[in-house]
Amino acid sequence: MSNLPTDRNNNSVTPFNFFNLFDQLENMVINSFQSALAPINNTAFEDKGNEYVFTLTLKNLKREDIQLNVENQQLILTIHQSLNTTEDSFQSYQSQSFSQAFSLYDVDVDQITATLKDDTLTIILPKLETVVLNRRTIDIK
């Protein structure tokens, strides 16, 4: 006897559709990427004239989840959140990471401040007093 699925009413064989399997896998991948990128929708970056203000709001954001580094004229913000849940015989573990880099070419690196209040991280990036851009047009011969 065949192991192929059949329709109970007329006993016809229903072929296995590999495309449905690929669609299901694709949906799983897309959903995982969307959840990983969810923090991007909760951010704002504003130029206030004499400073830049970056805000990120993320549920259950804690100080120990946040890492701020300055490297090679860039501010690198990394957030890693983990959640363990245990209910009776069920245990769940979720992890989410987010990283963003900002150019600091016109920022006073020594004056950068960050605060965390009510799940919202605010980073103040004061601008340098004067920024001299070394720019010129080169004639093509």
Among 66, 65, 72, 42, residue whose Cα is nearest residue 55: 42
Among 49, 42, 51, residue whose Cα is nearest residue 100: 42
What's the pLDDT score for residue 33?
45
- What are 91-120's pLDDT values in tens digits? 777 788 878 888 888 889 999 999 999 989
Q: Percent helix, strand, coil in the chain (nearest 5)?
A: 20, 45, 35
The C-alpha atoms of residue 45 and residue 66 are separated, in whole angstroms, by: 18
26: confidence class by pLDDT, cuts 50, 70, 90: low
pTM over 0.75: no
